Structures are given as C-alpha cells and as structure tokens.
Structure 1
Amino acid sequence: MKINIGDVVARKSYQCDILFRVIQILPSQAGTLVAGLYGEEVRLIADADCSDLVIMDEQERSSRKVKQDELLEQSLYLLHQDYQLLREKQEYYATGSYSHNESFFHIPGRVLHLDGDPAYLEKCLTMYEKIGVPVYGVHCHEKEMADRIDNLLDKYRPDILVITGHDAYSKHKGDINDLNAYRHSRHFVQTVRNARRKIPSLDQLVIFAGACQSHFESLIRAGANFASSPSRVNIHALDPVYIVAKISFTPFVERINVWDVIRNTLTRERGLGGIETRGVLRTGMPYNRKE
C-alpha cells in the first residue's frame, strides 16, 4: 500500500503502538523511501521506512479516539474538582471567613502558548477555552522560538509561558545526557534561557517547556518551572494544558505542590516534573453583574 503525505499510520516494528501523521517522504541513501512522522496524540517526531508503516483505517482510529477521549474527560473532571475547591478556599480567605452577600470575580493567569505543531496548537486552544484559561496561541517552528521569544513576551505579557512542539531522543546520536542527541531539546532550552534573561523571577513568569522525550534536567536548569520528560517517555499532546490550568487557577498566595500539578495529567511523573511554584490566580470583589 502506497504511503502518502497526510496519511495516519503506525509502525509495524513497534506493534502499531502510536498513531502518526506523515509529514514528508524522502529518499534514503539506501534507496528506500523514509517518512517523517508527527505523533497524532503524543508530542513525538520520528522517521520510519515506508515499508514499516501501515495505514490505519477509520474504524481503528475511531476506537483509539474513544479511549483517548475517556482519559481526557477523566483528567478534565479532576481538574474542575480542584478548581472548585481552590475557588471556595480562596473566597473563604478573601473574606476573613465572615459571611457576606458580595460576589467575587477571579482573574486567572494569562498564557502564551508557543507550539511547533499547528494541529496540536488548535487542540490545546480548544481545551484552554473549554477550561476557561485566557490564552494567546502562536505557531512557531521549534528552531525559531529562541529568536522570537523576546518580542512575543513584550507583545502578550503573559503570566505563564508554554514552549512545546515535537521532540525525540535518538540513541544512535549520542548519550542520553547529550543535548545534540535530541531533535529539539536544545531549541527549547535556549528559548527558556532567553525568556529568563528578560524575566528572571520564577514566580513572575511561570514556564512549562518540552515535548516527548525532551531533556528534562537541562530545561529545569535553564529556568523552566515545569518540563518534560524525566524518564524520556512520550507525553500527551494536551499534558501542557493540564499543568498550565492548575497554575492559572491556583491563588498567587499559595505554593503548588509538584505532585498536585502532575497527578491529573495523562503521563504523570514519568513524563512531567517541576519545582515548587506560586499560583497566579487573583480574586477580587465586588462583582457587578450587568442588569
């Protein structure tokens, strides 16, 4: 079966474990055709010989999508539970625990989401909107992020910055600690460094950085509050959204326990980690409803 750009495929040598989109097809030195692949649900970039690929039919794709949607809804439900609890606690503290009849308003943290994949960016923006997080989304190739970050920070002035896209560790390119063995980790690291030169405070600008199999330790050392991937595993396309939502809805007077942030994500501590960080939500009163 001929493989074409845009096909949704899986790798036979990996027991068809992950669905990919074919983004390019190029001849190899061996005379075969090699496909460039982007993960459909995980932020992984890969190459594979076209002979190793099988096109996934609509029925199989739909079946996998149902399972993914169930996991997403479960995470979303837990996130809403957390938000409701945080909101009630913040209102209690804001009033000094006195009873009153005033209404409150909440200002969650503003997000600038930089993504190397336009399809994933749209998925994330849809989820941000569903959750209620104010966000600006920018599609930017991973290699260009470091050069553009200064102007983007000036333009959008976010409370939270997301730097993500696609990544992968290639064992044949070097040791696991060698940044050159990763597809885009060094670009993510430089983007974090440039952002921290502009806004050094870990609480003034909260940064999530990384994608599948990214070099977690380098991203944290560069100044990220949260990053992927401690165990060099794949992360789900929407994992950054859940981390950001937790930060956005946590009051600025509270510190976020790292486990509380990652426990509702799909890949949890193997794929995501970070450091203790303040929330960015602010509560005000009174809320004047329009008649």
Structure 2
Amino acid sequence: MKQGDLVVRKSYGGDVLFRVAILDRETAILKGTDYRLLADAPIPDLTVVRDPEFTGAARQVRIKVSESMRRMQEQRDKQVMQNENEIRMVLSQSQPYFEVPGKVLHLDGDVNYLKKSMQLYTQMRVPAHGIHVHESQMPDMVHRLLPQVKPDIIVITGHDGVLKIRESNDLKSLSSYKNSLNFVNSVRIAREYEKSRDGLIIIAGACQSHYEALLQSGANFASSPGRVLIHALDPVYVAIKASYTSIRETINLADVIHGTISGIDGVGGIETLGKYRVGLPKPKALTGVKPTI
C-alpha cells in the first residue's frame, strides 16, 4: 500500500471509496473520492481497490451522479424553451436573447473536489471563481474576496465531520465538529457583507456539518440535517440551481434537495429568490456603423 492508492475500510463493509492521502507505519489518513469525508484508519483495516469500477459503493454513487446531471440538463433545456416561448409571445417573433446566470464564488478545503466542482460549473456554463483554502482560513478569505469578486452566490465547503473524541456528546455544540465553527464564522462574515438573503445566496457545509448553526448564522442552504455524508458535488448542484433560477421565482426547495445525491438528510435550506436574468436583444458585432457626428 502506498500514498495515492484507492482503498476501502473492512470494518465499514467497504461502504466508501477513499484515496490514501498520508501513510505512516500504522495509520493512514484517507480522503473520500466521492464524499467530502476525511478519515483515519489502521492500515490492517484497509483493502486496496485495483478497479474502482467494480466496487458497489462507487457504482451506486455514479448512478446517482448521472441521474442528478440528467435532471439538471433537462431543467436547463426546459428553461431555454420557456424563455423562447415567452419572447415569441411578446414580440410575435423569435428573437435572440442572452442569459445572465448568477456568478459563484466557490471556496473549497479540498483541491481535488474544487477541480471537479469547477469542471461542473464550466459544463453548465455557470460563471464561477474557485479558490482552494484551508477551512481555518476561510473566514479571512471570505472577508477579502467578497468585495473583489462581488458574487451572487458563495459556496463555503470542504471537509467536516462529527469528532470521534469530543468534550461533549451534545451534537448541538460546535466543538463536536471538525470544521463547522470555521464554516459558521465564514457565513457570519459573508452575511455581514450582504445582509439580505436574496442579495447574496450562501451555501455552506460539508459532511455531517452543524446544519442548524449554519442556517442561524445566515446561510440560505446548508448541510447536513441528518449528519450524513454529502457528495462532493452536492453544494455545486445547489449553486447551479440558484444560478439558473429566475430572479422572479424562489428556488424550488423540494426540487433542489431531491436533485442532490445526498437527499433531504444531506442538504436543506430556506426559500430564496434565484439569480438568473434574461437580456434582450442579444448584443451584435457593431461593424459598418456610420458616424453621425
């Protein structure tokens, strides 16, 4: 076994696929390949996976990801058709229009998840600015970047989890979580920057994060109501949904939660207006214009 190997944990029935991040004599630090999970495990508890395509856990996740992507694309196609029909009804003819989806600032504590997230934003044509930053540095980074980037939506995510060894068994205490306090402090700073929940949409949290504290500190959407593992792309899915929901409509809560891979135990939120705008007419290349002055 070596750093970078794909492994599963025997004691957990091989439920999650990991990549070995750090390896010492007796213990390995693991990062989930699909879930935002950072864990440690005794080396004898690990089994190296040669072909992840044939692991049950990975296969089920891929099915869910494909379904979410299919649903997302169907919604975009429906939106384009609706826009064209509305314009045709008003102008009695087809007219090229342009789209202005909401801009995303994405802060991620994991560089590999950030890469996957940025690929999905690009695929769905969402303007996004991504930064890899350790969770402990996120509050300062939020304070610095919000005035520079001026996003419509901010995603604050990375690694989190309920601590095995903690001062209290009280899951209401932020001290029982690996990074929830860092996320909460980041959300508070973002909400101080823009107090309106419709002015700036905040999506925060990771695996098993303190859902209630994140909402109370000002997040629009957060993980994890059921303290479950969330998929690496769940925050991205919510951000894309917010980016492409019209400013005339609220983001459909049931629809966005159902569309995530983790479901209602993984992500929740409050009613929020979308950030998508349509412009008319579509700008043209201004060639051959004769001066009048």
Q: How does the TM-score come out when normalised to structure 2?
A: 0.90
Corresponding position of 1:263: 258
* 1:37 and 2:30 aligned: yes
CA drift at 1:98: 4.7
* 1:227 and 2:222 aligned: yes
Sort the Cα spacing of 1:179 and 1:62 in 2 relative to 1 into closer, same or farther, 3 A.
Answer: same
1:4 to 2, 5, 8: 2
Corresponding position of 2:106: 113
Within 1, Cα distance between the matches of 2:224 and 2:61?
A: 20
Sort the Cα spacing of 1:54 and 1:131 in 2 relative to 1 into closer, same or farther, 3 A.
Answer: same
Q: Deviations over 1:118-177 (max 9, x none)?
A: 001001111111111111110000010011111111221111100001111125413211
Within 1, Cα distance between the matches of 2:144 and 2:157?
A: 18
Out of 252-261 and 134-143, give the one that drifted further.
252-261
CA drift at 1:230: 0.3
Within 2, Cα distance between the matches of 1:99 and 1:176?
A: 59
* 1:89 and 2:82 aligned: yes
Q: Deviations over 1:249-275 (max 9, x none)?
A: 111111112112111111111100000
CA drift at 1:6: 2.1
1:188 to 143, 162, 183: 183
User: Is contact 1:160-1:207 (8 Å) kept?
Assistant: yes
* 1:199 and 2:200 aligned: no
User: Is contact 2:108-2:131 (8 Å) kept?
Assistant: yes
Corresponding position of 1:102: 95
Q: Deviations over 1:65-108 (max 9, x none)?
A: 55543332221111111122233334555676452232111100
Amino acid at match of 1:261: V
Where do 5+ consecutive residues of structure 2 fail to align?
A: 288-293
Sort the Cα spacing of 1:95 and 1:204 in 2 relative to 1 into closer, same or farther, 3 A.
Answer: farther
User: Is contact 2:19-2:33 (8 Å) kept?
Assistant: yes
Amino acid at match of 1:16: G
Within 1, Cα distance between the matches of 2:84 and 2:188?
A: 36
The 3-state SS of whatever aligns with 2:259 is: coil
CA drift at 1:38: 1.3
2:21 to 3, 23, 34: 23
CA drift at 1:24: 2.1
The 3-state SS of whatever aligns with 2:29 is: strand
User: Is contact 1:192-1:219 (8 Å) kept?
Assistant: yes
Q: How does the TM-score come out when normalised to structure 1?
A: 0.91
Corresponding position of 2:46: 53
User: Is contact 1:226-1:273 (8 Å) kept?
Assistant: yes
Corresponding position of 2:236: 241
Within 2, Cα distance between the matches of 1:142 and 1:94?
A: 45
Q: Deviations over 1:20-58 (max 9, x none)?
A: 12222357xxxxx2222211100011121222112111x
Tell me the C-alpha RMSD between the 2 structures. 1.9
User: Is contact 1:38-1:166 (8 Å) kept?
Assistant: no
Amino acid at match of 1:266: I
User: Is contact 1:168-1:212 (8 Å) kept?
Assistant: yes
User: Is contact 2:87-2:94 (8 Å) kept?
Assistant: no
Within 1, Cα distance between the matches of 2:164 and 2:156?
A: 24
Q: Deviations over 1:207-239 (max 9, x none)?
A: 110111111101111111001100000011111
Corresponding position of 1:30: none
CA drift at 1:288: 3.7
Within 1, Cα distance between the matches of 2:120 and 2:59?
A: 17
Within 2, Cα distance between the matches of 1:90 and 1:269?
A: 30
Within 1, Cα distance between the matches of 2:198 and 2:89?
A: 25
Where do 5+ consecutive residues of structure 1 fail to align?
A: 28-32
Within 2, Cα distance between the matches of 1:77 and 1:89?
A: 18
**Corresponding pairs, count:** 282
Amino acid at match of 1:63: F
User: Is contact 1:216-1:230 (8 Å) kept?
Assistant: yes
User: Is contact 1:46-1:168 (8 Å) kept?
Assistant: no
User: Is contact 1:252-1:279 (8 Å) kept?
Assistant: yes
